[in-house]
């Protein structure tokens, strides 16, 4: 069971991650299917530096990547939350999401990302939210489109072209 809750929707709740959650998180970063659009699998040892970065985001911004848990039974589903990105000189907040492959195709990622969109606009008062996605990553693009995002431009990350999906706050920020 995850720790302190940040937000919830019909079927899921998003919570701050803790050190004890790293084994669950590794079921994503250590899975070749989940990592097929990423440069490499992470080793279990490298998860600690990943968690240190997540903790630094919590300290600096009060938010970051969260754990996602199913409400009905407390099962860990995946990760969804906010990443602060520099996109060609623009400081932008990304909605990021990665889910355990056994929990794909139920709409949990879209539901979580939509909850983050609403939290990003209504609570964090962001004027705009983005998702950075490789063109080949069709499932991720579909999630961004369900969030209401459209492709704004392209950018290069880690040597690969990425689409910059974006959505502006309905109230104009």
Q: Is 104 in the site for ligand COA (CB under 6 A)?
A: yes
For ligand COA, the binding residue among 143, 147, 149, 167 (CB under 6 A) is 143
Find the shortest distance in angstroms from Cβ 17 to ligand COA. Answer: 16
Q: Which helix (H) or strand (E) holds 7?
A: strand 5-8
Task: Note the Cα 120 to chain centre separation in Å.
Answer: 12
**x/- site string to ligand COA, residues 145 to 164, per CB under 6 A?**
--------------------
CB of 55 to ligand COA, least distance (A): 21
Question: Cα dihedral angle (126, 108, 163, 65), rounded to 10 degrees?
Answer: 50
Site string for ligand COA, 20-49 (x = CB under 6 A): --------------x--x------------
Using the Cα atoms of residue 42, residue 81, residue 83 and residue 113 in order, give the sign of their dihedral: positive
What's CA 89's distance to the chain center, in Å?
Answer: 21
* Span between the terminal Cα atoms of the chain, in Å: 35
Determine if 130 is a binding residue for ligand COA (CB under 6 A). no
**168 binding ligand COA? (CB under 6 A):** no
- Strand-pairing partners, residue 32, are none
Applying CB under 6 A, which part among 17-25, 45-53, 55-63, 101-109 lies near ligand COA? 101-109
Interface with ligand COA includes 98 (CB under 6 A)? Answer: yes
CA-CA distance, 16 to 13, in Å (whole number)?
Answer: 10
| Tokens coding 159 | 């040597």
Question: Which residues make up the interface to ligand COA (CB under 6 A)?
Answer: 34, 37, 97-99, 104-110, 133, 137, 139-140, 143
């Amino acid at each position: 069971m995850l720790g302190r809750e940040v937000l919830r929707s019909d079927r899921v709740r998003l919570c701050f991650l803790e050190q004890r959650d790293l084994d669950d998180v590794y079921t994503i970063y250590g899975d070749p299917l989940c990592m097929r659009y990423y440069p490499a699998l992470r080793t279990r040892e490298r998860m600690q530096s990943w968690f240190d970065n997540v903790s630094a985001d919590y300290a600096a911004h009060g938010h970051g990547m969260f754990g996602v848990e199913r409400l009905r039974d407390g099962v860990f589903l995946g990760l969804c939350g906010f990443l602060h990105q520099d996109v060609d000189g623009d400081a932008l907040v990304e909605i990021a999401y990665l889910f355990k492959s056994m929990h794909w195709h139920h709409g949990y990622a879209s539901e979580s990302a939509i909850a983050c969109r609403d939290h990003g606009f209504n609570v964090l008062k962001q004027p705009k939210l983005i998702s950075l996605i490789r063109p080949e990553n069709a499932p991720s693009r579909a999630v961004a489109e369900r969030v209401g995002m459209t492709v704004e431009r392209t950018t290069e990350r880690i040597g690969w072209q990425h689409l910059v999906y974006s959505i502006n706050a309905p109230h104009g920020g």
